[in-house]
Amino acid sequence: MPFVIQLCVVIATIAIVIVAIMAVRLMQRFEMLSDAAIRSLGRFDTFLEQSQQASVRIYGMLASLEHITDSVRSSVSKLEVVVDRAAGLSSSILDEVERPVQKAVAVIRGVQAGVAFLVQKWTGRPATPPDLSAEGHEV
């Protein structure tokens, strides 16, 4: 066999061996990559489970918050009714007390003026009625 053919056979054999070694290394790297992917997917499954548990807890908290909000709304509504009734009652009481008190004050002032007039006529000297505002009372 000629030397050139032998050299070509040796080079071809070396090339086939190199390709085989590269294929083996490539398969090993694919195996490592698939193992890493499987581990990552396992962690992702754990993450999904934890996310679902967290979402269930959050849903429970939101349901509780909604219940509390409904209770607060109901209480505020009831308190509003009570405040409206108390305001109406206090307004009615003031209306019922204020007018008679004003009338009584007017009658007392009239009586004072009448007594002062009579005292002035009977005694001949001017009589001064007492000043209610000097004692800190509102006139």
Does the pLDDT value for residue 130 go beyond 80? Answer: no
Q: 112: which 2 tokens?
A: 């004072």
Contact 132, 111 (CB under 8 A): no
125 DSSP assignment: S
Helix (H, G, I), strand (E, B) or coil at 96: helix
| pLDDT above 70 coverage of the chain, percent | 88
- What is the pTM for the complete model shown? 0.42
